[in-house]
Structure 1
Amino acid sequence: MPHVCDDCAREFTRMDNLRRHQREQHAEESRGGTKDRVMGRENSLDPDIFDDDSNMSFESDTEILNSSDREEETEDDDDEEIESVTSEEDEEETEDDSEETDSELDGSVTSCEEGEEGEEEEDTDEGDMEGEEEWALYRDSTILQPLNEGEVPQQVLKETRRFGRTGTLEGKRERKSYKALVEDPMLRYSGQYQETCSDLYITCQVFAKGKPLALPVQTSYKPFSTRWNWNEWITLPLKYSDLSRNAQVAFTVWEIYGPRKALAVGGTTVPLFGKHGMFRQGMHDLRVWPDQESDGAEPSQTPGKISNNDDQMTRLGKLTKKHRKGHMVKVDWLDRLTFREIEMINEKEKRESNSMYLMVEFPLIHFDGVEYSIVLFEKGADDTLQVRTQAEIVTVPDPEMLMENLVESKHHKLARSVRSGLSDKDLKPNAATRDQLNLILGYPPTKAMSLEEQDLVWKFRFYLTNQKKALTKFLKCVNWTLPQEAKQALELLYKWQPIDVDDALELLSPQFSNLMVRRYAVSRLQQAEDEDLLLYLLQLVQALKYEDFNEIKRGLDTDKTRHDTVSSTDGSYADSMVSGTVNVISQDGFHPLQSDFPTRKPEESIPVTHDECDLATFLIQRACKNAILANYLYWYLFVECEDQDNINRDQKVTEMYINVMKRFSQALLKGGGECRKRRSLLAAQQTFVDRLVMLIKVVQREGGNRKKKVEKLQALLADPEVNKINFTTFDPIPMPLDPEVQIKGIVVEKATLFKSALMPSKLTFNTTQSQEYVAMFKYGDDLRQDQLILQIITLMDKLLRKENLDLKLSPYKTLATASKHGFVQLVDAIPVAEILASEGTILNYLRKHSPNEKGPYGISQEVMDTYVKSCAGYCVITYLLGVGDRHLDNLLLSKSGKLLHVDFGYILGRDPKPLPPPMKLCKEMVEAMGGQSSDQYQEFRRLCYTAFLHLRRSANLILNLFSLMVDANVPDIALEPDKTVKKVQDKFRLDLNDEEAVHYMQTLIDESVGALFAVVVEQFHKFAQYWRK
C-alpha cells in the first residue's frame, strides 16, 4: 500500500465527512437540484470540500467565495493582477456549524443566494459543463474534481463570459455616534442598527474625463442575512468600442435611509484600462471609501487601488499571478497549503486596515476555446506616444550573421538537382501560376526576384524555353557556384528561343560573369545591323570592363603567334597614346598608325575561328568591316586608354583597354587594303587632334581680352610653320565627329571664340563636298556626359520613328576625343532668350521667317507642326533623363521651327537651381502654340502622352544601356553609380498601366506650366547674364 502523508490524509478525511454530512442533512436539498447549482452540472458527484478535522486555526467570519481569482493592482503597476484566494472556516466545526457553513456554501457558489436569477444562471452553466470535468469553487482555491476519485485534483482558473460582476462586500461598518443619532433620529431605522446585514444595493456608472458616458446601472434587490453577497452580472449600456483610454467605472454602495431616500455607504473607482491599454480581467478587491459617493474625476477621490509597495497583499498577489500563469513549478498538495496561508494573510491585512472591500469580477473573453484580451486601439495613437530620447542601443553579437543557411542551401540543392529535371520537363503551369510567371517576366532588369520566384522560374524552365523574354530571368535564378546547376543552365541555354539584341545587352552587364553566357550574348549581337550596333557601341566598349581580362590578353598573344609577328623595341602606338606623347606623329605631317609588326603582305580577310567569340574580338571584327564603326570604336577606346588621371581607376582596366587597342591595330594592319587605309586615316585624325590641342593651349595662355585671343587663334591657324602642319589645307580625312564628312581644311577668317569661361573655339571646315561643316572644339571640358545623353536621345528618336512618330528631334553629334577635350556639332539655331529679346515672342520669330496667311497665327502649318512636335519630344525626353539647369539660353530654336536642348551638364535629377519643374515648359513656349486653350497645345499634350507610352515599352533597353555605364567616368553617374539605373527607372513609372501613365503625364505637364518658382529663377538667370555681358 503506498504511503500517504498526514496532510493528504486529513484532506481526504474532510472529503468523506462532507459527503456523509450532505447525505444525512441535505438529501432533500440535493434532490431539489441545489447540488447541481454548486457543481454546475446535473448528476454530479458530491462536492469536494474540506472538513476541518485538523488543528489549523481559521477565522470564523470568513466565507466561501465564488472564485479563486482575485487581482490587486497598484498605481505603479496598473496592469498587475493579484489573485486573491479565500480562506477556510475557523477551528473545529460542530455538526450544527457545518450545517450553517453548507448553507453559506450553497449561496456563495451559485450566482445569487436562493434566488431565481441565480438558478437561471446556474442552469445556463449546466449546459456549458456537460461532457466536461466538474467544477467546485472554494475559499482556498478552485479545485477541478475528476470523475475518477483516484485522480489527484489540480489547480485551475474559472472562466466567465459576462461583462462584469459584483461580488461581496467585506468589512465592518462603523455605527454613528449617539450624538449623530440624537441629531437625526431616522438613523435608528437605517441598516447600521440592524442586527442582521442590512439591505444594500450598488450603482455602477462609467466616466471619462470626469463626465458620465452613460446612465448608472443598479443591482437588483436581494435580502441579506449574514453577509453582503450580490453575485450579480452587470451589463453597462456601452460597447467596448465606445470606451476611451481614460474610461473608469465608479461603484457606490447605497442603503435605504428613509422614504425615497438613500444614504451612501461608500464608493470606489477603478480605471477600465491598464497602463498598456488592456481591459481589466478577473477578480479585483477594491477599497470602499466610507460615507462617500464614488466620483469619476481625474484623479479620483475614491480610488479603488492604492499604491503601497510594502503591502503584503500586493506582494503575495504578484506571486499568485506568476503561479497561475505557469511561471512557477506547481505542486498540488503544497499549493493548497500555500493558498490557505495566503488567504489568511489577506484576511488579516483587510481586518487590520479597518476598511471595507468590494470584490468585483471583470469578464474573460473566450472564442473557440481561446482566451482573448480586449485591447484599446486608437488610430494614430502611436504617433503621440512618448519615446525615450536617450535610449541605449545594445549591440548583441550574432555569430551566424552573414553565414550560409544550411536549411535553405539544402532545399536549394534538392529543388534543383538533376533528378528534378526529369519530372520538370513535362510540367505545365495552371492559370494562376501562369499569371504569376507573366508578372515575373514583366519585371524591369533592376528588380530582384525573391527566392520563391526564382524557384518558380526554375521549376517551369522547360515550359519557358519558348519565351525569349524569359531567358534573362532564368539565368538570374541560377547559382553559378554549383557545378551541377550551372551545367543544367548551360545545356538549356542553346535550347532556348533566341533572344533579341536589346535583351542580349543585359547579359553583358556585371551580373553575368559566366564565359558561356557572355559569349551567347555576343552571338546574339552578331545579328544586329551596323546602324543598330552603332547606337550601342559606347555601352559595349564599357562592357569590356566586365570581360575576362586574361582572355583578352591571350587573344593578343594568339594574334601575334598566328601572324608570326615580333614585338617592336620602342613600344606600340597604343603605348604612345597612353603615355600622352606624340611620338607616333612624324615631323613632316601625317603617316599611318605605327605597328608592332614588320611590313608584310596582308591577308585578304579577318581571321574568324568560330561563330562565338568574346566581346573584344566581335567589336574588332565588325569595326574592320565598317569605317564608321572603326572611327567611333577607335576614339571610344582611346579615351579609356588616355583616362589615367582617374585615381579610382583600376590599372588592370587600363591595361585591358590598351590590349584591345593593340589587337584593333593589329587587325587593321593585317586586314585588306581598306583596313590598312582605314588605319592610316585614324592615325591622321590623331595627329590633327593633337596639333589642334597644342594650338588651343597657346591661345589660352595668350593674355588680353577675347578679341586679342581670336586674332591669335586665326594667326596660328594660318601659319603652317608654327605647329608643323598646315591647317588651312591638308589631305582629306574623315571628320572625327562625323566620319561620313571628309574635311580638307579650316576657314581661318571664320574661326572665333565663344563668350564663355572656357572660350571654346568655333571652327568652320571645308569639305570634299564643297560645303562648310561648322563644329565647336572645347578644351578643358569633359564631354563624355553630353556624348552619352545625345546618344540616348538619338536612340529614343529612332525608337519613336519605328512607331511612326517623328517628333522632329535634332540630336546633334558630340565626340569626346579625350577626357579634357572634344568636338560638338553646331546647328543653325538661336537661343530662345535672344529671340524673346529681339522679337518679343516666339510667334513673331516664326512668323517673320515662315509667314503664311492661311496658316495658324500667320505661320506656315508645317513650321507650326514642327515646333509643336519638337517641344513635345524634348519635354518627354529631358524629363526621362532628368536633365537639369534648363533656361532659355540653352533652348535653341531654328527657322524651320525645330526646338532643341543643348548643354547637358546636369542629368539624372541634378539641378543647380532650387525646386526645378519636372520639365522645361515655360509660358513663352505655350504662348507660341496659341495658349492652353488652342488646338496646337492640345496636340502637344497628346504627343507627350504618345511618346511617353512608346518609350515606356522600350524601357528595358534604355535601362540596360545605363546599367552598362555605371562604371564609366561620367560625372553625374560617378556621384551615385548604384542609384543611376533606379533614377531612370523611376521616371518611367513602370508600376503604372498605360491609362495611369497618361494621367501621370497630364499631372506633370500641368505642374510644369504652372511652376511659379521657375519663372522667378528664369528672371534671376536673365539678370545674371545681363551683368555678365
Structure 2
Amino acid sequence: MDTYTFATSKQVDFPVCVKINHLEGKQTPVLFSTLLRHPEIRHIGSVQNPNSELYVTAQIWAESKPIGVHSQTPHMFFKNTRTWNRWLELPVSIKDCPITTQIAVTVWDLSPLPLNGSLDHAVPFGGTTITLFDDEGVLRKGRQKCKLYRKRSADGAYPSTTPHVPRPRRRRKDEGPPTSFPEEEELKQLEDLFKKHEMNEIPQNDWLDQLVFQKVGRLAREVDDKARKGAAVRQAERRKAIAANGESNDQTDGAEVDLDEEERFTLHIDLPRFDFPIVFEDFSYEAPKLMRDFQSANPATGPNAKPSPEVRYGPGIAAGNMVVDDEDYPVVKIFDPEQFQKENPCEQKHRRLVRSDRNAYFDADQKPNAKVRDELNEVLAYGPTQELTTAEKETLWVFRRHLSKDKRALTKVVKATDWNSPHEVKQMNDLIPKWAEIDIDSALELLGPDFDNAVVRGYAVERLRKAEDDELQLYLLQLVQALKFERYDEDEEGFPDTSLAKFLIERAAINFKLGNYLHWFLMVECDDRGPDTNAANRKLFAKVEYHFMLRLENQNPEQRRMLKRQGEMVAVLSKISKEIRFGRDSRPHKIEKLKKYLADPKNELIKVDPPLPLPLDPSIEVSGIFPEDSNVFKSSLSPLLLHFKIASADVPDDAPSSPLKSQKLAEQPRFSVIFKTGDDLRQDQLVVQIISLMDRLLLRENLDLKLTPYRILATSPQAGAIQFIPSTPLSAVSSQYKGSVLAFLKKEHADSSGPLGVRKDVMDTYIRSCAGYCVITYILGVGDRHLDNLLLSSSGNFFHIDFGFILGRDPKPFAPLIKLCKEMVEGLGGTTSPQYAQFKQYCFTAFTTLRKSSPLVLNLFSLMVQSSVQDVRMVEEQMGGFGGAVAKVRERFHLDVTEDEAVRLLDQVLADSVNAVFGVVIDRLHELVQNWRA
C-alpha cells in the first residue's frame, strides 16, 4: 500500500476561505392571488426579476455559536445567471477551528419593506450550512454543491436545520414511497467523477470533456424538471389530503419543504485545495491542579462509588462524528493515522496459515499455469525500487521453488519472504544455495540496506567472486558503503568467510589497483567526523582497514610499504596546499612559494625513488615532479596544478648535459594533477565513477560517445586529487571566438572537405561527446551548469567538470534540465543541420541503452543512501529517508512509460533546453560575477 501522507489542522495557519460561484435553480412565479393577499411581496427584487440583484454572506459557527463577524460579497448586477465568482475570507484560521465548525452561507434578497423593521432592506432568499470537516474528520476541499433552503437564513446551530446535504425526510403515513429516477442516480455518480476530474485524479481531454459537460448539463436539466414536476404533484396530493381530513394548512415546515423541493435551488461554492488531506487534530488541555488533587483524594472505588464520568474525545468530536443508530449507545468514529502504515492483523494471520510448514511440501510441486506465468513475468520485470503488493508476494512465495531456476526471481522472492518467521527463514536458507546464478546488479541489490540475512548476503558475495577485477573496481566505491549494512559480532576478531569485508580484503590483497582504491576509500571514511556520521561506522571501517593491512603484512609487505609511502606523499601535498590556501600573498607570490616547496629536497617530491604508483591512478608510476611548471589556480581554495614525471620515460641523471637532454626533459611524458584542500570531493568522485560505468555500458553495445571520465580521488573528507585534462572552458572559447565553437574547431582542425569545415573525425568526436554528456547529466540531475564548467579539448572532446549539485538540485532558478546552450548548438551547425540531427540520434540511442541497465545504476545509488555524499544525504533527508536519491534517478529514466514515450519525453526536454531563455540569462549573470571577482 502506498504511503499515506496527511497534515493536521493545527499545522495549517491559513484563514478559512470560501468562494461563492453561482446559483442554480428556477424560481416558481408567485400567484396573483398571493400578491393580492400580500401586496408587500411584489416589491421584492426576485419577484420582479428572476435575475435580480442578490448578495451573499458567510459566517463561521461552532458549538451553535457564531465565531467572528460575517463576510459579504459586493453588490452585483446579473444578466443571465447569478454568478459571483468571489472569494470570501473569514476571520478565523483553520488551526483554531473545532471539528464542529460550520460555514453558514445566506443569499440575501432586496426588499423595500424588510422584516422586523430592519434598516438593511434585506430578506433571506435562501440559506445553507456546510461543515468544515467531513464525517471522517478530514477538511473539505474543492467544489461543493449545497442545497439552498428558500426564504430561510442559514442556521449555524448544531445540528443545523439547513444542511448542505439534506437529511432524508420522514414520510407521512399517507405518503407513498419516494419516487426516484435512474437519471438522478446517474447524475450523482457523474458529479462524483467530475469532482475527481477537477482534482486531477482523472486524466483530462479538452475536446472530449466539453462534449461530456454539454451532455451532463442537458441531463441535469431533465432531472431538475422531473423532480420539480414530481414535487408539484406531491404538493397537490398533500393539499387534497389536508382538505379531505379537514386539517389546518398553516404548517410552515411542510410548506417550506414543498417550496424547497419544487424550486430546487443549488448554491455552488469552492473551498481551498491542498495537495494532501488535512486531518482534524484536537487540542488536549491539562486538567486544573485543583481537579487533579480532588480526583486523587477521592478515588472512585468501593461499593458506593459513583460511576466514572463519560469519556469524551474532545470538544465536539463525539457529536460531530456520531452515528445515531442508537441514541443510548452512540458509535463514535475517530481517525486512525496508522491505518496505512501498519499491516492488517488479519493479513498477518492469513500469511502465517498459508506459509505454514504443512504447506511447504505441497508448494514444492506447484507450477504456474499460463495466466499466472504471465503475471510472474510481469513482476520479475519490475525495477529494484518498485514495491510488491501483498498478492504478488503470496504468488512469488507459492512458486518460489519453480522460480529458483530464474536468476531474475531471487531478489523478488527475498522481498516476499517474512524474515521474522523462523520457518520461512529456514526454507529460504535451504533454497538460496540452489538458486540459478544471478547477475551482478542483483547481487548488488542483495547487499543493500533492505537485506540483512547472512545467507542472502553470502550468496551475493559468492556471485561477486566470479567478477573480474576491472568490473569489481567499477563498484568498489559502493561496496565499501555496503559494509555498513552487514552485521558483525564485535567480540569476534576477524570476519566470517562469507562476509563482504573478508571478500574485499582477499581480492584487494592480490591486486594492487584494487588494494590502492580500497585503502583510500576506507581511510576517507575513517577520517570522516562530520555531523552525518557516527562512531560505529568509523569503528567498522577502521577494523576493515586494520585487517587489510594485517593481510598485506603477511602476504604482500611491499604493497603495504607503497601504500604507506603514498600516505606520506599525500600528507606533504596537503600541508603545502593548506599553506598556499591560507596564505595572504598574491597569486604570483603563491606560485613562487609553491615552486619553492616542491623543489625542496626535504619534501621528497622533486625525486621519488624508487618510483611510486600514483594514488589517483596506480597504473602510473611517478618518479618525481616538475616544480617549474606548477601553478596555482585563480580560486578561493587556491587549487594546485602539479605535473608528475612518469617513471617509464625517465632520463638518467648521469646523462651528459646537452641540448638533446634538455629536449628530452621537455618532451618527457607527464601526468598532470589538480590537488585541492577545503573541498569534499566524494560527490564528484561518485559522479565520475557513474560516468565511467555508463561509458563501459555504452561501449559494450558498440556505442562509443568519446566520453572523458577523468580520474578523481578523495584523500580525506576535505582534500583530494583530480586528473587535469588540457582543455578550454566554453566561456574562454566564447570570449575569444565571439561565441563560435566552430571557429575554435576550425582553427585547430580545419578541413574544407569536412562537415562545417572541420575535420570529419574531430566533428564526429564533438557530436558524440555532446550527446553523451547531455544524456548522462540529465539522468544524474547535474545542476549549476555554466560555461566555466563545460570544457572542450583541441581534439573535439566535450565534457563536464565540477559536480557540486546533482539529483535535480540547482542553485539557480528555472535552470533547464539539460545544459544545451547556444554555443554548443552553434558548434553543431544549428538546430536545422544534419549534425544536430545526428546529435539527437546519439542522444536517443544512448538513453535507450542506459535505460536497459537502469537496475544496475539504481542499485549503486541505493548502496549510497547512508553515505556522506552531500546531495545524496540532503535528498534523503528531504524525502524522509525512503530512497529519495534512487527515486530521483529513477524519475529521470522514465521507467513507467514505454521506450518510445521515453524518447519523446527526452526530445521535448532537448527542445525546451535549446529554447530556454533563463539559461542564457544565468550564463550572462555568471559571467558578470566572475568578471567582478577577477
CA–CA separation in structure 2 for the residues paired with 1:630 and 1:441: 36
Which stretch shows the higher mean deviation, 712-721 or 884-893? 712-721
Aligned to 1:301: none
CA–CA separation in structure 2 for the residues paired with 1:928 and 1:922: 10
Q: Secondary structure at the match of 2:521?
A: helix
Aligned to 1:680: 561
Task: Name which of 710, 724, 728 aligns with 1:830.
Answer: 728
Is 1:73–1:82's contact at 8 Å kept on the other side of the alignment? Answer: no
Is 1:813–1:825's contact at 8 Å kept on the other side of the alignment? Answer: yes
Aligned to 2:534: 650
Q: Which runs of 4+ in 1 moved over 3 A?
A: 72-85, 157-164, 238-241, 243-250, 279-288, 342-348, 355-363, 375-378, 381-387, 389-406, 725-730
CA–CA separation in structure 1 for the residues paired with 2:535 and 2:244: 85
Larger radius of gyration: 1
Aligned to 1:554: 492
* Superposition TM-score, scaled by structure 2 size: 0.66
| Offset, 1:994 | 1.3
Aligned to 2:632: 753
Asked if 1:667 corresponds to 2:551, the answer is: yes
TM-superposition CA deviations, 1:320-369 (whole Å, max 9, x none): xxxxxxxxxxxxxxxxxxxxxx989995432799x999999999xxxxxx
Q: Secondary structure at the match of 1:703?
A: coil
- Letter of the aligned partner of 1:883 in structure 2? V
TM-superposition CA deviations, 1:392-447 (whole Å, max 9, x none): 54484759867664321210011112222322233332333222212211211111
Asked if 1:996 corresponds to 2:904, the answer is: no
Distance 1:282 1:836, change over 3 A: same
Task: Name which of 921, 938, 943 aligns with 2:842.
Answer: 943
| Offset, 1:555 | 4.4
Task: Name which of 599, 603, 606 aligns with 1:718.
Answer: 599
- Letter of the aligned partner of 1:1005 in structure 2? L
Is 2:461–2:498's contact at 8 Å kept on the other side of the alignment? Answer: yes
Greater RCO between the two (CA within 8 Å, min separation 6)? 2
CA–CA separation in structure 1 for the residues paired with 2:867 and 2:627: 37
Is 2:674–2:721's contact at 8 Å kept on the other side of the alignment? Answer: yes
TM-superposition CA deviations, 1:707-738 (whole Å, max 9, x none): 111111111222234x5x45444431110000
Is 1:735–1:743's contact at 8 Å kept on the other side of the alignment? Answer: yes
CA–CA separation in structure 2 for the residues paired with 1:834 and 1:352: 91
Superposed counterparts of 1:24-43, under 5 Å: none
Aligned to 1:697: 578
Aligned to 2:867: 968
Is 1:669–1:676's contact at 8 Å kept on the other side of the alignment? Answer: yes
Is 1:892–1:902's contact at 8 Å kept on the other side of the alignment? Answer: yes
| Offset, 1:83 | 5.2
- Letter of the aligned partner of 1:961 in structure 2? L
Superposed counterparts of 1:689-838, under 5 Å: 689-721=570-602, 723=603, 725-770=604-649, 771-838=669-736
Q: Secondary structure at the match of 1:732?
A: strand
List alignment gaps of at least 5 residues for structure 2: 1-148, 153-160, 184-213, 283-312, 314-333, 650-668
Task: Name which of 934, 939, 957 aligns with 2:856.
Answer: 957
Is 2:783–2:808's contact at 8 Å kept on the other side of the alignment? Answer: yes
Is 1:800–1:951's contact at 8 Å kept on the other side of the alignment? Answer: yes
- Letter of the aligned partner of 2:824 in structure 1? M
Is 2:577–2:675's contact at 8 Å kept on the other side of the alignment? Answer: no
Q: Secondary structure at the match of 1:976?
A: helix
CA–CA separation in structure 1 for the residues paired with 2:840 and 2:810: 25
- Letter of the aligned partner of 2:346 in structure 1? V
Superposed counterparts of 1:282-321, under 5 Å: 283-284=234-235
Aligned to 2:130: none
Asked if 1:615 corresponds to 2:488, the answer is: no
- Letter of the aligned partner of 1:488 in structure 2? Q
Is 1:285–1:358's contact at 8 Å kept on the other side of the alignment? Answer: no
Task: Name which of 420, 437, 450 aligns with 1:481.
Answer: 420
Aligned to 2:515: 630
| Offset, 1:384 | 6.6
Task: Name which of 444, 450, 454 aligns with 1:505.
Answer: 444
Aligned to 1:934: 833
Aligned to 2:72: none
Aligned to 1:981: 886
Aligned to 1:585: none
TM-superposition CA deviations, 1:501-538 (whole Å, max 9, x none): 12100000010000111111100000100000000000
Aligned to 1:878: 777
CA–CA separation in structure 2 for the residues paired with 1:385 and 1:746: 68
Distance 1:453 1:282, change over 3 A: farther
* Superposition TM-score, scaled by structure 1 size: 0.60
Is 2:577–2:639's contact at 8 Å kept on the other side of the alignment? Answer: no
Distance 1:246 1:741, change over 3 A: same
Which stretch shows the higher mean deviation, 496-505 or 457-466? 457-466
CA–CA separation in structure 2 for the residues paired with 1:1003 and 1:630: 45
Task: Name which of 815, 829, 836 aligns with 1:916.
Answer: 815
TM-superposition CA deviations, 1:792-851 (whole Å, max 9, x none): 000000000000000000000000000010100000211111112212311111111112
Q: Secondary structure at the match of 2:809?
A: coil
Q: Percent identity?
A: 41
| Offset, 1:77 | 3.9
CA–CA separation in structure 1 for the residues paired with 2:430 and 2:271: 60
Which stretch shows the higher mean deviation, 873-882 or 840-849? 840-849
| Offset, 1:249 | 6.5
CA–CA separation in structure 2 for the residues paired with 1:1012 and 1:730: 56
Aligned to 1:145: none
Task: Name which of 806, 826, 846 aligns with 2:745.
Answer: 846
Distance 1:391 1:280, change over 3 A: farther
- Letter of the aligned partner of 1:939 in structure 2? Q
Distance 1:1010 1:421, change over 3 A: same
Distance 1:890 1:376, change over 3 A: farther
CA–CA separation in structure 1 for the residues paired with 2:870 and 2:721: 18
Is 1:814–1:824's contact at 8 Å kept on the other side of the alignment? Answer: yes
List alignment gaps of at least 5 residues for structure 1: 1-71, 86-139, 143-156, 165-237, 251-270, 274-278, 289-303, 305-341, 364-374, 559-608
CA–CA separation in structure 1 for the residues paired with 2:810 and 2:830: 28
- Letter of the aligned partner of 1:617 in structure 2? K
- Letter of the aligned partner of 1:995 in structure 2? D
| Offset, 1:240 | 9.3
Is 2:674–2:722's contact at 8 Å kept on the other side of the alignment? Answer: yes
Is 2:623–2:647's contact at 8 Å kept on the other side of the alignment? Answer: yes
Aligned to 1:242: 218
Q: Secondary structure at the match of 1:497?
A: coil
| Offset, 1:697 | 2.2
CA–CA separation in structure 2 for the residues paired with 1:1028 and 1:82: 78
Aligned to 2:293: none
Is 1:74–1:80's contact at 8 Å kept on the other side of the alignment? Answer: no
- Letter of the aligned partner of 1:1027 in structure 2? W
CA–CA separation in structure 2 for the residues paired with 1:816 and 1:352: 89
CA–CA separation in structure 1 for the residues paired with 2:796 and 2:337: 68
Distance 1:443 1:661, change over 3 A: same
Q: Secondary structure at the match of 2:713?
A: strand
Root-mean-square deviation (Å): 3.7
Is 2:231–2:261's contact at 8 Å kept on the other side of the alignment? Answer: yes
| Offset, 1:382 | 7.8
Is 1:780–1:820's contact at 8 Å kept on the other side of the alignment? Answer: yes
CA–CA separation in structure 2 for the residues paired with 1:1013 and 1:989: 25
Task: Name which of 986, 1003, 1006 aligns with 2:911.
Answer: 1006
